[in-house]
Structure 1
Amino acid sequence: MNNNNMQYTYTKKRLQFGRQCNFTNYCKVEADIKPNAGYTNHYIQIDPVTQGTQCSKIYSVHEVNTNTATFRDSSIYHSEGGWPKDLNAKDVEQTVRYKRKIEKDELYIHTMLQLLPPMEQCILQNNACNIYEQYFSYMEPVSLIQRVYSRTVNVYRDILPIKRQITHLSWSPDQGNRFAASYCNTDFKNIINDNPQSYIWDVENPNMPCMILKPFCPILTLEYNPKDSNILTSGLMTGQVACWDIRKGSEPVETSLVKFSHRDLCNEVLWINSKTGTEFFSASKDGQIMWWDIRKLQMPTETLVIDLCKTDDQNVNKAIGISALQFEPSMGTRFMCGLENGIVISGNRKGKTASEKIATRFKAQYGPVISLERNPTFVKNFLTVGDWTTRIWSEDCRESCIAWTPGHRDFLMGGAWSITRFSVFFLIKMDGTLDVWDLLIQQDSPVLSVKVCDEVLTYIKPHEQGQLAAITNKKGTTFLLEFSDALTINQKNDKLLFTALLDRETRREKVKEAKNREQKLKMKSLRNTNFETECATGNTKNYEDNPKCLNSNTNNAVLIHCEEDYDNAIKAVSLKELLKEEGISNGTA
C-alpha cells in the first residue's frame, strides 16, 4: 500500500477563527533625526558591505483562538398558576377546591402582601408605551387633515385640424384601459365641413388613438357593452342607432332603419341588464324611448312616447324631448329620464299602459335636465344638473329635493357621482372649471375647484376605480385627472354619517311637504266657505262667469295677505332706521 496518496483535509468555519485581521497601509513617523555635519570626518566607507537592520522587536510566532459563543433556541410552555402534579388543572372542581384551601391558610394574606408590590411594578412596566413608536410598520400613518388635490395625468387631442366637440365618453369594462369618445360638431352652420369619425383611446398613449371609428354620419353618443369590451353601441345624428364590433373593423356592423328610428338626434344610449347582454335602449329629443336588441337591430323591440298628458294615447307631436337618460343595473326594469322642461321621470318598463310606465314625476330643474345619475351606493338618491344649480333627490320625496348647491355664476354643463366615495360628486361649468363637492365635509361650497382649461367643458366620466376622471371640452380635448385619496377612499364611519345625513334631510322635506298639504287643505276649506257665503247672499255671478274663480279668489287672498306682511315689514324697518337716525342726531346735538 502506498501511504503517500492518502490525504485528509481539515476544514474549519471562518466564524471559529475569531476576529478577522484587516491590514492597512499606515505609516507613522516616531522620530526625525537630522544628520550632524561633525560626524562626517569619522565616517568610513566600506565597500562592498551588506547589513540588515530590524527596527522593531522580534516576536515568536503564536496563535490565539477565542471561545466561540454558541446560541440555542428553546421554547417554554406557560400554563395558569403553579398547580401541584397530582392536581388536574383542567378539572374545574379540583381547582376551585384547591383555591379555597389556599385562601383559608393563615399565611395567605402575608404572602399576597409581599407578592403584590413587585407584580404591580411589572404590570406598570408592561403598560408603559412609547407614544412615538410605530407599532404597525405595514400601515402608513394617516394625517388628521387629509390633503385634497388633483393633477392632470394625460391630455388627448383631436388629430383633425378642425376641432370638434366631444359629446360623450365611455370607459371600457376591462379595468378601464381604454375609453371611447364621440366627436360631433353641434354647430349646424359648420356641419358641412364636419368629419364624422370618432376615436378609441388607450390610456397610456395620448399621442395617437388606438382605433378610429368611421360612421357615415357623426356620432352623438358611444357606449361600451359592460359584458364585452369589443362591442359598442352608438346614437347617430340621423336618429339611428348603430352597433360596432372593433374586431371586425372600424365601420358599424349593423345600423337601424331610418323609418323605425328616432325623428331627431339620438343623444342618449345605455345598455340594460339582460341575460343575453345584447339589449340596450335609446332616447332622443323627439320624446321617444326605444328598446333594441343588437341581434335584430333593424327595428326596436318596444317604444315609449313621453307624453305627459293623462291619456293612454301616445301622441308623438305632444311628447317632451329627452335630454338625459339613466339606468341602474341593480334595479331591474326601472329607468329614469330627464326632460327638456326640467321634469325627471322615474319609469318602469313593466307597466301595462304608457301612463303607468311614466307615473312618477319630479319637478327637478327650471331648464333642461343636463345630467341625471343615481348614487352608486344609495340608489334611492339621484343627482340632477341643470340651469345654474345641482339638486339631490330622494325617491321618498317627490315634491322637493333634499339638498342643493347654491346658484353658480356660470352655466353648468354636467355632473357625475364618484364611483368609490359616495359623498363626492363632480360638476363641470362653462368657464372650464371643475368643482368637486363632498357633502360630508361641507355643503355650501366645493372642497376643490380646478381650472381645467379655458374652453367650455362638455362631459365628465369618472373611472370605475374612482381615482381617475376623464373630462372633455368643446375643442375636442380630453383631460385625464387624478384625484387624491381624500376624494376617492371612504373612511371608517363615512357610510353611517352619509346615511344619517340623507335620512335627516329626507325627514325634513317630508315635514315640509306635510305642512304644505295642510296649508292647502286650509285654503280649500276657506274657499268653500267663501263660496257658501256668496251662495247664501245670492252673489254668485263671479263663480258663474269664471269656473276658475274659486282658485283665483284663494290665490288673491294669499297674495293680499303676503303683500300686507311685506308692507308691514318695510314700515317696521323704515321706522327703526328713522328712530336710529333721530337718536344719532340728538346725541350729536
Structure 2
Amino acid sequence: MEIVYVYVKKRSEFGRQCNFSDRQAETNVDIQPDPSQAKNFIERDPIDAAIQCASDMSEHEVNTERFEMENEGVNHLEGGWPKDVNPLEMEQTIRFRKKVEKDENYVNTIIQLGSLMEHCIKQNNAINIYEEYFDDEETADVADEPPSAKTINVFRDPNLIKRTATHLSWHPDGSKKLAVAYSSLEFQRSSKDMSYESYIWDLENPNKPDLVLRPSSPLMSLEYNPKDSHILVGGCYNGQIAYWDTRKGGQPVELSTVEFSHRDPVYGMIWLQSKTGTDCFSASTDGQVLWWDIRKLTEPTETLVMDISRKGVLENALGAIALEFEPTMVCDEPLFSLRLQDNGRFIGCGSKLGTVTLLEVSSGLCTLQRNEKNLATAMFERETKREKILEARHREMRLKERTKAEGKEEDVKVETEEEKPEELLARVQKEFFEIIEAEIRRKERAAKLSKAQEKEVTDENEDEDPYKEE
C-alpha cells in the first residue's frame, strides 16, 4: 500500500530571501612570523619546473551505497482495553478512562512518557533562520491597502441536480476541512433523483469531496464537535437529528426517532461546551429547542418550547434564512450561507446552486495593527464617559419634571380605578364592531358613487353620438 502526501505551499510563505552584499574586509586572525624558523630555510639552486600549454584536468568517481525504499502500512485497531470493556461502547470506554485517570500512577506515567516523546520530537526540529524573537514587543506594520478578498478555491456540488449549500462548518483542528450541508429550500420542488448527500471538502483538493455524508433526509445544518473533530451532528429536513463519526464512514452512527424529533426542518445546531462534549441543541421553525445527548438519540434530554409567533426571531438568530442579495464579486448566484474561519483568514460562502466559494481576506482585515488595541480601548472609555454624562443629564431632567408635577398635584388629587377585565373586553369588542360597521358604510358609499359616475359618463356618450337615431 503506497501512502503519498502532497504538501503544497505558496512561495510567499517560505519567508524572506537571503540577500548578500559586499562589505569591507575584516581581520579575524593575525599570525606574526617566527624568527627561529629561519634556520630551517634551505635555498634550492637550481630549480627545475615543467610547463605545458594545456590545463590540468582530473576525474574522480564515487560509488555511494544505494538507498533502498519500501512501502509499508500499519492497520491500527482499538486495543489495550480489558476483557470486560467493549471498545465499541462509548459509555464503557469513558467510564474506564475516568477510573484510570483517578489512579495516582497515571500522572507519573504520563509525565515519563511525555519526556520521552518530547525528546523524539525535538530530534525533528529545524532551525528557522527567519524566526522573529520579539513578536510580542510590537506588532508588525501593515501596509495601508484597501480591504479586499480573493477567491482561493471553489467547491461545486458534484450532482447534476444542483442544491443549495444551506450550512457551513469549519474543521476545529487547523480548519483544513470544510463540512457543507446541501438541501433544496424550494418547497415541493425536489425531484425523486435529487441526492440527499452532503460533503466534507479538503481545502487542498476542490475536485473531489474528502468524505460523503449520507443522511436519511437532506441536511439543513451541520456542525463539527469542538472537542472531538471526528464527530459531526446535523439537522435534517424532516426534523430528525443525526451524528457521524468520520472514522466510521459516511453513514450516520445514530439517528433520532421521528416521533421525538422536530416537526419542521432543523435550521440550527449548537454544541454545548460540556465536560463530555456529547450534548448539543437543535432549533427548528416548529418553535422548539431540543437538548440532545448523541450517545442516546432515541429521545431528547429536554424540550424547550418557544412561542410559535416568534419563530422568525429564532430563524434569524441561528442563520436559518439568509437574505438573498444581488451577486457581486463572489459568484453569479444568490448566497444562502456564510461561515468565517476561527482565525479570521478564510471565509466560506455557499450559494443557491451548491457552489461553495472560499475567500481569503486581506491582511488589513484580519491582522492586528499597531496601537489598534489602545485606540479601541480609548474609544470604549470615551463612549462610556459620554454615556454616563447623558444618563446624569436625563436623571436631572426627570427629577425636575417630577418636582414640577408633584407641585401641581398637591392641590388636586384624582383617584382612578382600574378597569376590570370584563369591562375592558366589552369596550374592545364594541370599538371593533364600530370600526367594522364604519368600514362597511364607507364601501357602500364608494360603490354608490362609482355607479353614479358611470351613469353620467354613459349619458354623455349617448348625447355626443352622431349616429344615434332621433
Letter of the aligned partner of 2:177 in structure 1?
R
- Counterpart in 1 of 2:314? 339
* 2:198 corresponds to 1:191: no
Aligned residue for 1:467? 345
Matches within 5 A, 1:281-360: 281-307=281-307, 320-321=310-311, 339=314
Post-superposition offset of 1:541 = 11
Q: Secondary structure at the match of 1:191?
A: coil
Partner of 2:209: 209
Residue 543 to residue 498, structure 1, CA distance change in 2 (3 Å): same
> TM-score under structure 1 normalisation?
0.43
Q: What TM-score, normalized to structure 2?
A: 0.53
The equivalences for 1:238-277 within 5 A come to: 238-277=238-277
Letter aligned with residue 358 of structure 2: L
Which AA in structure 2 matches 1:168?
A: H
Q: What does residue 457 of structure 1 align with?
A: 335
Give 3-state SS (helix, strand or coil) of 1:160's partner.
coil
- The match for 1:176 is 175
2:368 matched to which residue of 1?
Answer: 490
C-alpha change, 1:319 and 1:491, in structure 2 (3 Å) is same
Distance of aligned partners of 1:306 and 1:229 in 2 relative to their CA distance in 1, 3 Å threshold: same
Q: Distance in 1 between matches of 2:419 and 2:309?
A: 34
Q: Is the 8 A contact 1:288 1:319 kept in 2?
A: no
Relative to structure 1, is the Cα distance of residues 515 and 478 closer, same or farther in structure 2, using a 3 angstrom cutoff? farther
Q: 1:472, 1:478 within 8 Å by CA — same for their partners in 2?
A: yes
Residues matched between the structures, number: 294
What SS does the aligned partner of 2:229 have?
A: strand
Counterpart contact for 2:166–2:220, Cα < 8 Å: yes
Distance of 1:141 and 1:296 partners within structure 2: 50
Identical counterparts, % of pairs: 42
1:533-554 deviation line (CA, Å, top 9, x unaligned): 8866x9x79999989xxxxxxx
Q: Would you tell me which structure has more strand in proportion to its own residues?
A: 1
Measured in 2, the distance between the counterparts of 1:283 and 1:227 equals: 21
Of stretches 279-288 and 176-185 in structure 1, the one that deviates more from structure 2 is 279-288
SS at 2:286's partner residue? Answer: coil
Question: Unaligned regions of 5+ residues in structure 1, if any?
Answer: 1-59, 64-135, 308-317, 324-337, 341-367, 373-385, 387-411, 414-428, 434-450, 548-589
Inter-CA distance 278–535: structure 2 relative to 1 (3 Å threshold)? same
- Quote how far apart the aligned CAs of 1:174 are: 2.5
- Structure 1 residues 229 and 527, CA, compared in 2 at 3 Å: closer, same or farther? same
Partner SS for 2:375: helix
Q: 1:492 to 1:514 in 2, by over 3 A?
A: same
Question: How far apart are the structure 2 equivalents of 1:466 and 1:165?
Answer: 24
Matched residue of 2:224: which SS?
Answer: strand
Q: Which amino acid aligns with 1:203?
A: L
Task: Write the letter of the residue equivalent to 1:469.
Answer: I
Give the letter for the 1:200 counterpart.
I
Listed one character per residue, the Cα deviations across residues 71-92 of structure 1 (whole Å, up to 9, x for unaligned) are xxxxxxxxxxxxxxxxxxxxxx
Question: Counterparts of 1:507 and 1:236 in 2: how far apart (Å)?
Answer: 49
Structural mapping, 1:149-168, within 5 Å: 149-168=148-167
Alignment check: 8 A CA contact 1:230 1:245 kept? yes
- 1:142 Cα deviation from its structure 2 partner: 4.2
Query: Which 10-residue stretch deviates more, 139-148 or 232-241?
Result: 139-148
Q: What do residues 376-414 of structure 1 show as CA deviations (whole Å, max 9, x unaligned)?
A: xxxxxxxxxx9xxxxxxxxxxxxxxxxxxxxxxxxx73x
By how many angstroms is 1:166 displaced? 0.9
SS at match of 1:320: helix
Structure 1 Cα separation of the partners of residues 417 and 210 of structure 2 = 77
- Amino acid of the residue matched to residue 252 of structure 1? P
Higher RCO, Cα 8 Å, sep 6+: 2
Q: Is 1:169–1:461's contact at 8 Å kept on the other side of the alignment?
A: yes
Question: In the superposition, relative to structure 1, how do residues 277 and 144 fare at CA in structure 2: closer, same or farther (>3 Å)?
Answer: closer
| Change over 3 Å in CA distance of 1:228–1:524 after alignment to 2 | same
Q: Deviations over 1:111-132 (max 9, x none)?
A: xxxxxxxxxxxxxxxxxxxxxx
Structure 1 CA distance for aligned equivalents of residues 209 and 49 of structure 2:
80
Which of 1 and 2 has greater Rg? 1
- Counterpart secondary structure, 1:339: helix
CA 1:493–1:256: 2 relative to 1, 3 Å: same
Pick from 326, 350, 354 the counterpart of residue 431 of structure 1.
326
Q: Is the 8 A contact 2:140 2:370 kept in 1?
A: no
Q: Any gaps of 5 or more consecutive residues in structure 2? A: 1-46, 51-128, 133-138, 426-470
Post-superposition Cα deviations, 1:411-440, rounded to whole Å, max 9, x if no partner, equal x73xxxxxxxxxxxxxxx61234xxxxxxx
Match of 2:358 among 463, 480, 493: 480
1:84 corresponding residue in structure 2: none
Q: CA deviation at 1:476?
A: 0.7
Q: For residues 541 and 240 of structure 1, do their structure 2 counterparts lie closer, same or farther at Cα, with a shift above 3 Å needed?
A: closer
Distance in 2, matches of 1:206 and 1:281, equals 31
The residue identity in structure 2 corresponding to 1:214 is: R
Query: Would the aligned equivalents of 1:290 and 1:304 in 2 still touch at CA under 8 Å?
Result: yes
- Shift in Å, 1:305: 2.5
Alpha-carbon distance, 1:239 to partner: 1.7
Cα distance in structure 2, aligned partners of 1:487 and 1:274: 32
Question: Which whole-Å CA distance do the structure 1 matches of 2:290 and 2:276 have between them?
Answer: 18
CA distance in 2, matches of 1:196, 1:462: 25
Tell me: CA distance 1:272–1:499, structure 2 relative to 1, closer, same or farther (3 Å): farther
Say what the alpha-carbon RMSD is for the aligned residues: 4.0
